[in-house]
Amino acid sequence: MSTMDDEKTLVSSKPHVMFISFPLQGHISPMVQFSKRLVSKGIKVTVVTTTSLDITNSNSINIEHILVDTTSQGKSSAEAIDEYLAVLETGITESLPEVIEKQTTEGWPVKFLIYDALMPYALEASQKVGVQGVAFCTHSSAVLAIYYHVYQRTLDFKSLEESSSVTLPSLPLLGVEDLPSYLNEMNPYTGLFTLCMKQFRGLEKAYGVMFNTFEELEGEVVNWLSSKWKIMTIGPSVPSMFLDKRLADDRDYGLSLFKPEGEACIKWLDEKDTDSVVYVSFGSLANLVQDQMDEIAWGLLNSECNFLWVVRDTEKSKLSEKFIEESADRGLIVNWCPQLEVLAHDAVGSFMTHCGWNSTLEALSLGVPMMVLPQWTDQTTNAKYIVDVWKTGVRVKAHDKESITREDITKSVKDVMEGTKREELKTNALKLKEMAIEAMSEGGSSDKNIDDFISEIVNPTTST
């Protein structure tokens, strides 16, 4: 037998797990990161994508592409999203069984499909060819609990007034403004609301539900959800060198849909004092209105703190030339950066964030206090937990749903960067950082859950 045949036999003898993610950076990154964790524990992994990805530092991960034509012309934003979601579902439903069967033909039968919870049709497709599925939630367990109550009609958003508060099992007292934005009847993206509700379609037929979180962070709601499904917390799904350091040289997610300006960012930070920089980023999707950009810009400048601000190329025209000139000595504006490296840098003292779940987990994992400026989706709920439950951040005051003032920005920066408030936030952030590291370290809560899942792959106790 040739060396190549020997290698194929060795690889094909490994238990094989397939992943499929919703095609957004914030969904792809944690799933690919978790797949690297499984590879490190001896599992064969195939990642199925609907977009062209170059996954680095992951030579052991097999990549399969499903080509989906999602071109939309002349449609409104809401119509285009609805059309995109419909085409994506059709493409995955038709193609995924063939991709799974191809692996079997090549000697790599798939034991489990780990599918993005927003894609229940992937579970249905895998079951047609006899493969069990595991839902992977890229939002918090608290958010799924809220969606579940809406799905079960035990929470009727339409009946709530603006001043209402909501009491739900295992969750803190929530205001209407703390609920995910898709629940608002004024939400124009009805397709996205439907998408969130579809997570429960056939979920009782899945092997279980994985969350990119850890028990110490969301223990009460995780326990409550465990009465509904088999729940596995497997996070934070953050590159290992920023947590337990058990995966050698694992310093990034291994993929990006954007081009980071890493060297310039880190070199600039190296020249700054410890805890002197405010890092500002609102993720890959948020589009701030002109007034918001103006107030944030001048609020940062008036705070007299150094700042590193990620502004996408499509947003840079909203920054005035006067601001760019006057902030040149204290600010660096880039179109993207290696966020984990930035958050881990000694010069960074706080993070102004939109509260996307990945960004939230990264800041918690690295012990960085936050200023929260949620925009939509689950970000409002994440902000509630950051400020009122974990007490690792402050909310940038909003006078209504969109408007903020430069005075609000300046005050929040000073609260997080100076004085007794900062000491409280930093202490709480560092405690959660240690809990996150412990969860992913050998014998930690998430590590145990991962090992238990691997045991099920290798020696299944349930029928497929």
| 269 shares its domain with 241 | no
- pLDDT given at position 14: 82
Q: pLDDT tens across 335-346, in order?
A: 989 999 999 999
| 89 shares its domain with 24 | yes
Q: Is residue 166 part of a domain?
A: yes
pTM score, whole prediction: 0.93
**Domain of residue 324, residue span:** 262-437
| 281 shares its domain with 407 | yes
| 346 shares its domain with 297 | yes
Q: What tokens does 365 get?
A: 């994992």
Report DSSP state, residue 273: P
| 337 shares its domain with 387 | yes
Q: pLDDT tens across 222-265, in order?
A: 999 999 999 999 999 999 999 999 998 899 887 655 555 578 89
Higher pLDDT, 189 or 185: 189
Quickly list H helices, 106-258: 120-128, 141-151, 190-197, 215-225
Q: Is residue 280 part of a domain?
A: yes
Vertex 118: Cα angle to 387 and 48 (nearest 5)? 115
Q: Is residue 107 part of a domain?
A: yes
| 310 shares its domain with 401 | yes
27 is catalytic: yes
CATH number of the domain that 27 lies in?
A: 3.40.50.2000
Higher pLDDT, 124 or 398: 124
- Name the active-site residue from 16, 82, 116, 408: 116
The packing angle between helices 190-197 and 77-105, to 10°, is: 40
| 238 shares its domain with 334 | no
16 is catalytic: no
Q: What tokens does 389 get?
A: 């439950």
Q: Is residue 2 part of a domain?
A: no
| 404 shares its domain with 446 | no
Q: Is residue 6 part of a domain?
A: no
Residue with tokens 């960074």: 348
For residue 24, give the 3-state DSSP assignment: coil
Q: pLDDT tens across 161-178, in order?
A: 877 899 999 999 999 989
- Name the active-site residue from 5, 6, 16, 27: 27
| 454 shares its domain with 358 | no
Question: Exposed, middle or buried: residue 158 (CB in 10 Å: 0-12, 13-18, 19+)?
Answer: exposed
**Separation of CA 370 from chain center:** 16
| 68 shares its domain with 193 | yes
**Cα within 13 Å of Cα(282), Cβ side:** 16
| 188 shares its domain with 303 | no
| 235 shares its domain with 343 | no
Peptide bond connecting 338 to the previous residue in cis, omega within 30 degrees of 0: no
- pLDDT given at position 371: 98
Q: How many domains does the chain have?
A: 2
